[in-house]
Structure 1
Amino acid sequence: MNSKNQTGPASTNVHVNGLRFAFYGRTSTTRHQDRVSSQGWQRDMADELVAGHGQVATAYFDAGTSRRIPWRQRPQAAQLMTTASSPESVIDAIVIGEYERAFTGTQFATLYTWCTRHGLQLWLPETGGPVDLANRDHRALLSLLATQSQREVLRARHRVLATMRNQTIQQGRYLGGRPPYGYRLVDAGPHPNPVDARWGRRLQRLAPDPRTAPHVAWMFRQRLAGHSVASIARHLNERRVPCPSSADPDRNRHRTRRTWTLRTVAVIPANPRYTGRQTWNRRATDNSGPASTPALSAKVAHPALVTEQDFVAAQQIRATRPATDGRTRRFALAGLIHCGVCDRRLDSHWNHGRPTYRCRHGHTSTQRAGQPRPKTLYIREDHLVDEISIRLGDEGNDCHTTPELDPPRHRRVAAALRDSRKIIVYDHAGWRLQEIDSS
């Protein structure tokens, strides 16, 4: 084979005595692995195996392809199967450079069945020749190889995830991906691994983007003032503020680059990176172990665009809505009262000209009223504020109830709760204050 051909199958021009083999090999990445070296040693293993039995007539090598991908979805493996199964095929057998490079899970059994159906032999270095599943020793060996291959995948995955989680929590390291809107990437010095540092690799960190950071701070101020996500998006579009895909088109080629949307605005106040702490794996879909769960750095890793106190407060905000008479109905304790029965946040509810809160435990008008459910919780804001203000005052908060302070008392109570990171847990037996779970 011409060793310079690294892009696909290559054929020999010499006369083949014995079996005509198709070689297959694979490497996971092209960035961290030398394809020439990887293909070279796998090909050497195959040539040594088939020596005296035939020669490799054609070769296929997948680079940058995970072993977890089925053969039919690997470019070179799929081409090999197509060529070998065609009526004009001159291939008698397939030889693999190394089992763990080619297979995981049930992939070998699938390919072996396919080879048997097309009259092809399947050779492995581990079996010293063609695989014969009628041979008890071969079956035991292949079962062991399949287990080892799967174990290697799981161990490598666990090590990588655990390392990334630790680097986020303990070091606050930036681990890649698009920087959030409002930040840009700057140099953070040489890589801590001496070998990587000698190769010139350097770390990066987030720094405020002077073009977009002010818009993030403005969005948080608007949210804390009670403005809705739709209102914030509308004002950004009216002011022609570039949306994330417009501000950073190179990293957002999959976006429309047009205008701010509800989704685009909503994710910004919910991103803890704006507090200066690094995050990783926030949208984890597999929480099968500690290494795969979301992580937050233990210390500040980059300049913050919002204080942690304001960030927590922004998560509790629900926008005020205008009434039919044009006046705005304000609910000072919105988001701060949780149901002690079902753990939902109580809904803000205007009743008889005053703010109240209720929890119907998930019941809506789309459900039959006769369905059994706990009794609806209901409480007036003024009654609750009277009781809580005394409790907070007893705990040392500046929230004493004097007649001249009655008008802003509701807002003072809400501010005191947020400052002390507490919520109200309410059920039919009464209410209690509870610390916000920071985990």
Structure 2
Amino acid sequence: MSVDSDVGGDDLLTRWVTQARPAGRLRRRPADGVGGLRFAFYGRVSTVDFQERESSRRWQRDAAEELIAGHGRIVVEYFDTSRSRRLSWPGRPQAAVLVDRFADPDRGFDAVVVGEYERAFCGTQLLSLLPQFEACGVQLWLPEAHGPLDLGDASHRALVMLLGAQSKREVLRARWRALQAMRGQARDEGRFLGGRPLYGYRLVDAGPHPNPMHAKWGRRLQRYDPDPVTAPTVRWIFAQRLTGRSVSSIAAELNSNGVPCPSRADAARNPHRAGTAWGLTTVRAILMNAKYTGRQVWNRQPAHHTPPHLPGPFKTQRWAATEQWVVSRQIAHPPLVSEQDFIAVQAVQALPAPRAGRHYQFVGLLRCRLCRRRLESCWSHGRPAYRCQHGHTSVKPRPSGRRRNLYVREDQLVELIRILLADGGTAARAALTPQQLADHLRQQRLVVTCGETRCSLDPAAPV
């Protein structure tokens, strides 16, 4: 938000040009009346990477000032940067402040003016905002309406509906064109379409941009090239996985050898991550990334936009099914693993297959008294059991002085639960089978809190 200030009288050339305009050729703009309306100007620019903020703001403001010439002057400005028009006004910082000031009797303005409808509204946004404008006595001036908007005028109502549909269509059309172009560039050219470089690679020059104008401005393409520091780690991870090693054991060896994890190896591009150690998800993400085969792969994690009338984040990214991926038709960069080995890695299953006779009746019903975590099932000396590692995993080296694991055998647990139920006045249930005991606990929403010396029945946490 910024308050408008009048330009001083030192610009002699501008005053001379204005006064020297021949009558009849250009109509002089009447001066703003001192006693006219006080306007709040609202503008928006969606992306600062591809649009110059000041230029966009200037032409919008010029259009607004031309509209209100002779009716008043702009006294305050609200301008949103890097905000999509699909966001409702409460979702845009400056627009939200502007709407909040409507109800303030000392707000300092009488009307709101915009330089272009599409920069301010999309779809039915204006229709949902107009009741607030009317309730607070704030006018809305639109260039498309050639002045203040009047919903009592049938033509104005039709205009708002038309502009809303046109604005939404422009967004959808631009997005569709961009996505189709990116799809073709990734599939037919194997072009790198931006983003952080993949771990194991670095970005190198790939020649001038194919668009002549972009090439004239000096813009160049980029592609992946193996990073001499991190590429050997990626090759080693795939080789180890092909031998049948588990993801956790691979991560544990990387941590024990002091190999920097991806977020630490490139901390400048990963400020949102701690960069402390390799984790299961990090190793798994590398093993599942088909770009290491040398092919460019696009649309693995496309963006999804939540409709404005539904709750939730405006933009989310979700993993797409493999049949929705776009894979380049040719090799786009040097591979770190062959396609045959990559496909073979996807079929590796390091976890043992479930064995006949291994059943755990109390899964999800046991809680650690010390750390409040759920106990996990494990097979101990030929019998079902449960344990809590207090947050420790095999990925990280075992720290000195760490609490020892808590182990509970299922056969001992069954007798303990029967005693606890008998103490609670339910002696009739003391002869129930393990399956019946587990069903009873779930029906009564009870959990067993386990410790080194004692166990107890407690209410389960609310869902």
Q: Taking structure 1 as the reference length, what is the TM-score of the superposition?
A: 0.69
Shift of 1:11: 2.6
Q: For 1:184, what is the secondary structure of its paired residue?
A: strand
Amino acid at match of 2:328: S
Separation in 2, partners of 1:34, 1:231: 50
Instruction: Tell me the residue number matched to 1:73.
Output: 91
Separation in 1, partners of 2:147, 2:98: 20
Instruction: Tell me the residue number matched to 1:87.
Output: 105
Q: 1:104-253 residue pairs with structure 2 within 5 A?
A: 104-253=122-271
Separation in 2, partners of 1:39, 1:11: 13
Separation in 1, partners of 2:302, 2:94: 32
Q: For 2:79, what is the secondary structure of its paired residue?
A: strand
For 1:357-416, what per-residue CA distance to the aligned partner results, in whole angstroms no more than 9, with x for missing partners? xxxxxx99799xxxxxxxxxxxxxxxxxxxxxxxxxxxxxxxxxxxxxxxxxxxxxxxxx
Shift of 1:84: 4.1
Shift of 1:320: 5.7
Instruction: Tell me the residue number matched to 2:397.
Output: none
Separation in 1, partners of 2:361, 2:301: 32
Q: 2:4 aligns with which of 11, 19, 29?
A: 11
Whether 1:267 and 2:298 are equivalent positions in the alignment is no
Q: Is the 8 A contact 1:25 1:60 kept in 2?
A: yes
Amino acid at match of 1:270: M
Separation in 1, partners of 2:250, 2:60: 58
Q: Is the 8 A contact 1:17 1:55 kept in 2?
A: no
Shift of 1:313: 0.4
Instruction: Tell me the residue number matched to 1:343.
Output: none
Amino acid at match of 1:313: A
Change in CA separation of 1:364 and 1:280 when aligned onto 2, cut-off 3 Å: farther
Whether 1:308 and 2:339 are equivalent positions in the alignment is yes
Instruction: Tell me the residue number matched to 2:348.
Output: 317
Q: 2:325 aligns with which of 283, 294, 315?
A: 294
Shift of 1:73: 2.6
Instruction: Tell me the residue number matched to 1:432.
Output: none
Q: Is the 8 A contact 2:244 2:349 kept in 1?
A: yes
Q: 1:57 aligns with which of 70, 75, 89?
A: 75
Q: Is the 8 A contact 1:21 1:94 kept in 2?
A: yes
Shift of 1:130: 1.2
Q: For 2:277, what is the secondary structure of its paired residue?
A: coil
Separation in 2, partners of 1:277, 1:93: 56
Change in CA separation of 1:264 and 1:11 when aligned onto 2, cut-off 3 Å: same
Q: For 2:287, what is the secondary structure of its paired residue?
A: coil
Amino acid at match of 1:301: A
**Which deviates more, 68-77 or 307-316?**
68-77
Q: Is the 8 A contact 1:284 1:293 kept in 2?
A: no
Shift of 1:140: 0.9
Whether 1:40 and 2:33 are equivalent positions in the alignment is no
Shift of 1:164: 1.0
Amino acid at match of 1:221: A
Separation in 1, partners of 2:38, 2:158: 28
Change in CA separation of 1:320 and 1:49 when aligned onto 2, cut-off 3 Å: closer
Shift of 1:188: 1.1
Change in CA separation of 1:38 and 1:211 when aligned onto 2, cut-off 3 Å: same
Q: Is the 8 A contact 2:292 2:335 kept in 1?
A: yes
Instruction: Tell me the residue number matched to 1:378.
Output: none
Give structure 1 stretches of 5+ with no counterpart: 1-7, 322-347, 353-362, 368-439
Q: 1:97 aligns with which of 106, 109, 115?
A: 115
**Which deviates more, 123-132 or 63-72?**
63-72
Q: Is the 8 A contact 2:203 2:224 kept in 1?
A: yes
Separation in 1, partners of 2:346, 2:124: 46
Change in CA separation of 1:350 and 1:119 when aligned onto 2, cut-off 3 Å: closer
Number of residue pairs aligned between Structure 1 and Structure 2 = 322
For 1:13-38, what per-residue CA distance to the aligned partner results, in whole angstroms no more than 9, with x for missing partners? 69732211111111212222233332
For 1:48-77, what per-residue CA distance to the aligned partner results, in whole angstroms no more than 9, with x for missing partners? 221222222222222322111221232322
Q: 1:401-412 residue pairs with structure 2 within 5 A?
A: none
Separation in 2, partners of 1:320, 1:86: 64
Give structure 2 stretches of 5+ with no counterpart: 7-31, 305-317, 364-463
Amino acid at match of 1:11: D
Q: Is the 8 A contact 2:48 2:82 kept in 1?
A: yes
Instruction: Tell me the residue number matched to 1:431.
Output: none
For 1:136-191, what per-residue CA distance to the aligned partner results, in whole angstroms no more than 9, with x for missing partners? 11111111101000000000111111111111111101111122211111111111
Amino acid at match of 2:3: A
Q: Is the 8 A contact 1:10 1:60 kept in 2?
A: no
Amino acid at match of 1:217: R
Separation in 2, partners of 1:293, 1:308: 19
Amino acid at match of 2:219: R
Q: Percent identity?
A: 54
Separation in 2, partners of 1:144, 1:366: 61
Shift of 1:215: 0.9
Shift of 1:350: 5.3
Amino acid at match of 1:315: Q
For 1:219-267, what per-residue CA distance to the aligned partner results, in whole angstroms no more than 9, with x for missing partners? 1111111111011111111111111011111111111111111111111
Q: Is the 8 A contact 1:12 1:58 kept in 2?
A: no
Amino acid at match of 2:111: A
Q: Is the 8 A contact 2:33 2:71 kept in 1?
A: no
Instruction: Tell me the residue number matched to 1:376.
Output: none
Separation in 1, partners of 2:360, 2:3: 66
Q: For 1:217, what is the secondary structure of its paired residue?
A: helix
Whether 1:276 and 2:294 are equivalent positions in the alignment is yes
